[in-house]
């Protein structure tokens, strides 16, 4: 159809051009006119094939397609001029010029009609779901083109918001730029906006936080384009939009990896991960699988979670990596030693632990058995079989611990630091803040409360915590394993702490509600909770970063005879005595650290 249409329009352009200058060309007979028409027609189709004009989908016509069309029409006119000169020793310049302009107008117009019709129909179909695009730069125009062309996201763009004042009151791709951020609320009300799409891939996190606060006041549904790093890594496509997530508002960039160093420490080796069915352990397995280890041992206590993770990893990486599943309790010393002898892992990531603060306050003996004795079992088994690197996943609650969970984590750090004095294995610990999305974190709890209609319960309006995502936490563990030289504590620079109440408000807004619809109630601080968390004691901090966003702390061994005595006797102690002796051991460590003994 396009071939036939072009044939008609080329011949029409010759006729129109000849009509303009009929008096000047009266001495040319019909044969000359026929030669000009035939040469123009043939050369046009040859050029059209050269520039792939008959292979293009013209409903998506853009600048590139129109430039190719101009090149083809111009080259066709030049070829016709050459033929005229060869036949008549002259060139009918005025005829060819008019024909060139007519072809450009008619053929170019025919290409644009299909796109105009598609976009017009698309706007009518989606008129009930109107979108305001924030960002009239390359990201915003790319998004608008996708929305107008594909029409598969259920929304129609109606206007831009951009802080560049030179664009105000102008139109881009047929849409007006109605103003800057101060115009968001008036635009939503005046234009009856249902969706706001933040289309600035280069936006920094603190800028996104401020912009999000402006948008959420409108009541519209807020979406966002992926960041440039997500596009470059291939995790998101440029035209994709998604809901704003709590992770987007954390206030820092994710930690990056030294992939060459990690690859050297993992490729072709045997890796064992305890707690591999948990949120952190399973993500560690996912990420190290991409570095081509020889095999990964998935060790966990829960059979369902281990089965689920194994099925996922085997489907994704089964051709490159051998996966082994082992159901075991880290408190079972004999079983742990047997498994270590069986696999002789080069690297151990110890993620298995009891982490729930209030539950461990009520069950201190279980916290000691799992977090201290279990860690001692795994660490000594790793030492026995000659493991190269052992990485303990600790917690920010191990700093000046105010609860049993934090105290047992601090105790576990001291256990591996003392073992590191006499072992060839490089022992290291990694301290995390709270992990968004992990089992037991506040995000799933808040989401369930929102689904039930509220209220969302927060312990105290001033309570703050450090937060990181599961992938960030896992990257830090892997990077620590690659950087470990023995007896070190690694800590991520996690930016500023986040108020829990602000996190709750953001999650309510992200779920499409207001704090009037889903109220927030304050329940009071629970036993063992601190108002503020710390990542390092003041006497532990090395100010310099050993890797971007990663600090290293000073290892404190503790009073080893006191630690040994506690581990030997804890099972015979009452709950009150156990708690007292546990914190006495930690306090002796604090005194040792204050005295500068490391």
* Residue-level pLDDT at 60: 58
φ, ψ dihedrals at 569, nearest 5°: -110, -10
* Residue-level pLDDT at 597: 44
Cβ–Cβ under 8 Å, residues 410 and 584: no
Distance of alpha carbon 134 from alpha carbon 199, whole angstroms: 6
Helix (H) or strand (E) holding 435: strand 434-436
**Among this protein's residues, is 397 annotated catalytic?**
yes
Measure CA 178 to chain center. Answer: 30
User: Could you tell me which of 367, 368, 420 has the C-alpha nearest to residue 392?
Assistant: 420
* Residue-level pLDDT at 509: 75
* Residue-level pLDDT at 587: 80
Q: 3-state DSSP call for residue 267?
A: coil
Distance of alpha carbon 520 from alpha carbon 506, whole angstroms: 12
* Residue-level pLDDT at 56: 66
Other beta carbons within 10 Å of 204: 12
Domains of the chain, earliest start first: 2-122 (no CATH), 126-244 (3.40.50.720), 259-594 (3.40.50.720)
User: Could you tell me which of 78, 77, 110, 97 has the C-alpha nearest to residue 17?
Assistant: 97
Residue segments in the chain with a per-residue pLDDT below the cut of 70: 21-31, 56-62, 114-128, 149-153, 205, 226-240, 246-256, 436-441, 493-495, 512, 527-530, 532-545, 554-555, 589-598
What is the pTM assigned to this prediction? Answer: 0.64
Q: Give tens-digit pLDDT for 459-478.
A: 888 888 777 777 777 887 89
What Å distances lie between residue 411 and 176, 295, 359, 417, 526, CA to CA? 62, 31, 18, 10, 22
- How would you classify the pairing of strands 130-134 and 195-198? parallel
Cβ–Cβ under 8 Å, residues 417 and 377: no
* Residue-level pLDDT at 121: 58
Q: Which of 167, 269, 376, 397 is catalytic?
A: 397
Cβ–Cβ under 8 Å, residues 355 and 313: no
* Residue-level pLDDT at 235: 45
Please list the alpha-helical segments (H only) found in 452-524.
470-483, 500-510
């Amino acid at each position: 159809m396009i071939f036939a249409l072009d044939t008609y329009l080329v011949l029409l352009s010759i006729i129109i051009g000849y009509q303009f200058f009929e008096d000047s060309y009266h001495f040319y007979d019909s044969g000359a006119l026929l030669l000009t028409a035939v040469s123009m027609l043939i050369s046009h189709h040859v050029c059209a094939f050269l520039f792939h004009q008959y292979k293009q989908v013209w409903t998506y016509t853009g600048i590139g397609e129109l430039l190719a069309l101009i090149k083809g029409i111009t080259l066709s006119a030049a070829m016709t001029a050459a033929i005229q000169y060869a036949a008549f020793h002259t060139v009918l310049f005025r005829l060819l010029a008019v024909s060139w302009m007519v072809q450009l107008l008619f053929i170019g117009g025919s290409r644009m009609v299909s796109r105009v019709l598609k976009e017009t129909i698309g706007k009518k179909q989606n008129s009930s779901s109107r979108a305001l695009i924030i960002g009239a730069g390359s990201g915003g125009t790319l998004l608008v083109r996708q929305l107008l062309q594909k029409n598969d996201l259920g929304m129609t763009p109606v206007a831009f918001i951009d802080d560049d004042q030179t664009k105000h009151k102008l139109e881009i791709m047929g849409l007006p730029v109605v103003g800057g951020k101060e115009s968001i609320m008036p635009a939503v009300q005046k234009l009856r906006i249902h969706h706001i799409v933040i289309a600035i891939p280069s936006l920094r996190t603190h800028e996104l936080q401020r912009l999000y606060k402006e948008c959420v006041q409108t009541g519209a549904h807020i979406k966002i384009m992926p960041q440039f790093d997500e596009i470059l890594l291939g995790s998101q496509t440029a035209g994709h939009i998604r809901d704003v997530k709590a992770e987007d508002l954390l206030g820092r960039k994710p930690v990056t990896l030294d992939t060459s160093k990690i690859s050297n420490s993992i490729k072709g080796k045997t890796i064992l991960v305890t707690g591999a069915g948990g949120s952190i352990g399973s993500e560690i397995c996912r990420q190290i699988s991409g570095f081509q280890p020889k095999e990964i041992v998935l060790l966990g206590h829960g059979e369902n979670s281990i089965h689920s993770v194994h099925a996922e990893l085997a489907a994704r990486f089964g051709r490159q990596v051998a996966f082994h599943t082992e159901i075991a309790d880290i408190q079972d010393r004999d079983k742990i030693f047997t498994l270590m002898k069986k696999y002789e892992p080069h690297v151990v990531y110890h993620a298995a632990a009891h982490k729930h603060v209030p539950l461990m306050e009520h069950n201190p003996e279980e916290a000691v058995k799992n977090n201290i004795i279990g860690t001692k079992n795994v660490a000594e088994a790793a030492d026995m079989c000659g493991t190269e690197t052992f990485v303990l996943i600790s917690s920010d609650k191990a700093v000046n611990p105010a609860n049993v969970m934090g105290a047992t984590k601090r105790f576990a750090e001291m256990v591996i630091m003392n073992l590191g004095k006499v072992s060839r294995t490089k022992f290291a610990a990694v301290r995390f803040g709270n992990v968004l999305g992990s089992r037991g974190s506040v995000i799933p709890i808040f989401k369930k409360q929102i689904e039930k209609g509220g209220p969302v319960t927060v312990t105290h309006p001033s309570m703050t915590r450090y937060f990181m995502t599961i992938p960030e936490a896992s990257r830090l563990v892997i990077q620590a394993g690659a950087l470990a030289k023995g007896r070190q504590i690694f800590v991520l620079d996690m930016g500023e702490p986040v108020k829990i109440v602000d996190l709750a408000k953001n999650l309510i807004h992200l779920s499409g509600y207001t704090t009037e619809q889903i109220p927030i109630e304050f329940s009071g601080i629970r036993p063992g909770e601190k108002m503020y968390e710390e990542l390092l004691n003041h006497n532990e901090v090395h100010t310099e970063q050993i890797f971007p966003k990663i600090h290293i702390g000073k290892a404190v061994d503790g009073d080893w005879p006191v630690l040994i005595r506690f581990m030997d006797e804890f099972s015979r102690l009452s709950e009150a005595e156990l708690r007292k002796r546990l914190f006495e051991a930690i306090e002796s460590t604090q005194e040792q650290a204050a005295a500068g003994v490391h």
